[in-house]
């Protein structure tokens, strides 16, 4: 018990004293995950829109496929990216393994199905009149698409936050393709896993608190962006 | 009175059933055409085809005297024909932004847009609502915003799909007055309704959609001054 309270006190000291090693880990986590989500989201929204808007053979299979891929284990994605970028892999010459780039690619692959599935649900629920009204008022397809994004923004923000929540806290993929290199590819979840196995609980608790605060913040943001939370009349 | 759009041999099947089988439909300048028919007769589908929102199985379209395929006609007519849904959709933004929406696709200065929006607000009698979110308005107010948003684009043809559905009598009267003013401004109107007698005073022509075909109907009982249009 003493050791737990001592570790907790130490974790606060680490957080608020501006411990460089700790903040590099936090910074790495955020830069990698934010970049991954910023790359994945626009493409996911377009794919989701096309799935909701167009009628083509195999559409239902595609929707079911993205739904199924939402629950793919992070380690499987990590393993796939590892095999592709390992020295003997098809893209081994790019030497991306154990870099931020490979971590970003892994996180894009992890978040993409979730983003597509959730944003597809938002597009599917959108009022058909949004698109039709835009077009009949002279909007080109791109502008009509942007208007549609605006009209269903709460659903899309929820998809974004869910996608970000999925990748900021995943261990398996980052560990495998990032290598958990101190000061470079070590991020919050991989650092927590490592420090716990080493019995260094202070840093693990400090990083765990960051993730908890982040989870609260994301949910708070979602509640804020959802406005008054009323059904539209 | 010159013809703007002429559809001939328009066919449309829905779920394997022939819904529309129209030999000829003309829309003339400055005319108000009532399109009546029971629910499910295909009025909305016909309007959506004219608006370019739904494709027919086959049709020949002539626009301003030029015959062209439906798809090309839709592109040509894009800025001239505006369709208003039965319950017009207003974007989740202010009344002003809703009315300015269509103008933002045209190369106009912000000053010109502001001036035109102010005129449109004044025309519809909704200047006091300009900063309100359009979603917060009543049914009648929403309809006025939708009419102002369409009018500001100076369309040649306005397609109104049951514009007074679910309205109280006061809102209906306001809507009729706006339709009359649009007609007086020179806009051609195709007005779908399943209660012709309520809009008879506005219309020059009455076409009834029965079993997929258009049949000209008499409008004499409605009284009033009529333009002479060579329908039927």
Give A19-57 pLDDT, tens digit per residue.
888 899 999 999 999 999 999 999 999 999 999 999 899
Structure tokens at B184: 């007086």
Mean pLDDT estimate for chain B: 90
User: Which one of A137, A140, A150 has the shortest CB-CB distance to B82?
Assistant: A137
Q: Are B82 and B91 in contact (CB under 8 A)?
A: no
Which of B78, B135, B153 comes nearest A232 by C-beta?
Answer: B135
Q: Are B182 and B160 in contact (CB under 8 A)?
A: no
**Alpha-carbon distance values, B179 to A216, A229, B48, B122, B149 (Å):** 53, 36, 19, 16, 14
Name which of B83, B106, B135 is nearest A136 (Cβ-Cβ): B83
- Residue A218, classed as helix, strand or coil, is helix
- Percent of chain A whose predicted confidence (pLDDT) is above 90: 77
Helix (H, G, I), strand (E, B) or coil at B89: coil
Residue of B nearest to A137 (CA): B102
HSE, side-chain direction, 13 A CA sphere, residue B71: 1
Between CA B197 and CA B193 the distance in angstroms is: 9
CB–CB contact A140 B78 (8 Å): no
Element containing residue B191 per DSSP (H, E): strand B188-193
Q: Mark yes or no for CB contact B105/A139 under 8 Å.
A: yes
Interface of A with B in 126-145 (CB under 8 A): 127, 129-130, 132-140, 143
Give the pLDDT of residue B228.
47
Q: Record the tokens describing residue A226, joined without a space.
A: 């959802």
**Distance from C-alpha of A24 to C-alpha of A107, rounded to nearest angstrom:** 19
- Give the confidence band of B82 by pLDDT, cuts at 50, 70, 90: very high
pLDDT exceeds cutoff 50 at B150: yes
- Cα–Cα distances (Å) from B142 to A137, B133, B139, B173, in that order, read 16, 10, 5, 14
Closest-CA residue to B130 (of B173, B106, B95, B78):
B95
Q: What is the least distance, in Å, from the CA of A134 to any CA of chain B?
A: 8
Name the pLDDT band for B125 (thresholds 50, 70, 90): very high
In whole angstroms, give the CA distance from residue B202 to residue B228: 14
Q: Residue B224: is its pLDDT beyond 50?
A: no
A150 CB neighbours in chain B (<8 A) are: 91-93
- Picking from B81, B89, B99, B102 by the largest number of A CB atoms within 10 A of its own CB, the best residue to mutate is B89
Q: How far is CA B131 from the centre of its chain?
A: 26
Location of structure tokens 């502001």: B114
Task: Report the pLDDT averaged over residues B175-189.
Answer: 94
Q: Rounded mean pLDDT of A208-219? A: 89
The residue assigned the tokens 């200047």 is: B127
CB contact under 8 A, A136 and B89: no
- Alpha-carbon distance B105 to nearest alpha carbon in chain A (angstroms): 6
| Mean pLDDT taken over chain A | 91
Among B53, B92, B102, the residue with its CB nearest the CB of A137 is B102
Q: How far apart are CA A12 and CA A140, in angstroms?
A: 54
Q: Which of B44, B50, B53, B152 to mutate to test the interface with A (most CBs of A within 10 A)?
A: B53
For residue B12, name the pLDDT band (cuts at 50, 70, 90). Answer: very high
Q: If you ran DSSP here, which 8-state letter would residue B126 be given? A: -
Contacts of A55 in chain B (CB under 8 A): none
Residue A233: its pLDDT value, please?
47
From B89, B93, B101, residue closest to A129, measured CB to CB: B89
The size of the A-B interface in CB pairs under 8 A is: 53
pLDDT number for residue B220: 61
Residues of B in contact with A156 (CB under 8 A): none
Check CB contact under 8 Å for B82 and A135: no
What pLDDT score was predicted for residue A222? Answer: 78
* pLDDT interval class at A73 (50, 70, 90): very high
Beta carbons of B91 and A150 less than 8 Å apart = yes
- Pairing mode, if any, of strands B66-68 and B58-63? antiparallel
Mean pLDDT of B163-177: 88
If you average pLDDT over residues B61-76, what whole number do you get?
92
Instruction: State yes or no: pLDDT of B196 exceeds 70.
Output: yes
Question: Which residue of chain A is at minimal alpha-carbon distance from B51?
Answer: A136
pTM for the model stands at 0.87
Residues 6+ apart with CB under 8 A from B97: B91
Q: What is the ipTM of this complex?
A: 0.89
A151 touches chain B (CB under 8 A): yes
> Two tokens at B78?
């894009």
Place of tokens 């027919």: B56
Short-list A208, A199, A189, A207, CA closest to A22 = A207
- Distance, CA of B67 to CA of B6 (rounded, Å): 9
């Amino acid at each position: 018990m003493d050791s737990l309270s001592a570790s907790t006190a130490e974790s606060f000291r680490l957080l608020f004293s501006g411990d460089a090693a700790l903040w590099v880990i936090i910074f790495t986590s955020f830069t990698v995950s934010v970049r991954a989500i910023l790359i994945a989201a626009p493409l996911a929204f377009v794919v989701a829109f096309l799935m909701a808007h167009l009628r083509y053979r195999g559409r239902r299979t595609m929707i079911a496929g993205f739904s199924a891929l939402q629950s793919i284990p992070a380690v499987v994605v990590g393993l796939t990216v590892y095999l592709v970028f390992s020295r003997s892999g098809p893209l081994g010459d790019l030497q991306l393994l154990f870099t931020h780039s490979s971590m970003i690619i892994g996180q894009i692959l992890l978040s993409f199905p979730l983003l597509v599935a959730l944003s597809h649900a938002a597009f599917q629920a959108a009022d058909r009149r949004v698109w039709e009204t835009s077009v009949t008022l002279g909007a080109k397809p791109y502008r009509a698409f942007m208007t549609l994004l605006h009209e269903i923004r709460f659903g899309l923000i929820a998809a974004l936050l869910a996608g970000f929540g999925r990748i900021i806290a995943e261990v398996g993929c980052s560990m495998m393709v990032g290598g958990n290199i101190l000061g470079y590819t070590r991020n919050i979840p991989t650092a927590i896993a490592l420090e716990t196995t080493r019995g260094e609980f202070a840093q693990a608790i400090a990083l765990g608190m960051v993730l908890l605060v982040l989870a609260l913040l994301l949910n708070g943001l979602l509640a804020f962006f959802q406005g008054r939370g009323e059904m539209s009349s | 009175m010159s013809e703007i759009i002429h559809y001939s041999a328009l066919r449309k099947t829905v779920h394997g059933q022939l819904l529309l089988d129209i030999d000829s439909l003309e829309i003339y300048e400055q005319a108000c055409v009532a399109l009546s028919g029971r629910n499910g007769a295909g009025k909305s589908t016909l309007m959506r085809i004219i608006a370019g929102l739904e494709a027919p199985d086959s049709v020949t379209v002539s626009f301003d005297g030029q015959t062209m395929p439906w798809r090309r006609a839709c592109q040509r007519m894009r800025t001239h024909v505006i369709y208003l849904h039965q319950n017009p959709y207003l974007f989740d933004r202010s009344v002003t932004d809703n009315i300015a929406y269509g103008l933002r696709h045209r190369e106009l200065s912000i000053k010109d847009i502001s001036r035109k929006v102010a005129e449109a607000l004044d025309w519809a009698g909704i200047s006091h609502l300009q900063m309100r979110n359009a979603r917060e308005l009543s049914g009648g107010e929403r309809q006025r915003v939708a009419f102002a948003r369409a009018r500001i684009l100076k369309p040649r043809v306005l397609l109104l799909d049951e514009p007074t559905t679910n309205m109280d009598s006061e809102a209906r009267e306001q809507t009729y007055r706006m339709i009359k003013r649009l007609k007086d401004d020179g806009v051609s109107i195709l007005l779908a309704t399943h209660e012709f007698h309520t809009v008879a005073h506005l219309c020059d022509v009455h076409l009834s959609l029965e079993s997929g075909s258009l049949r000209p109907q008499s409008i004499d009982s409605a009284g009033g001054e009529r333009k002479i249009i060579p329908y039927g």
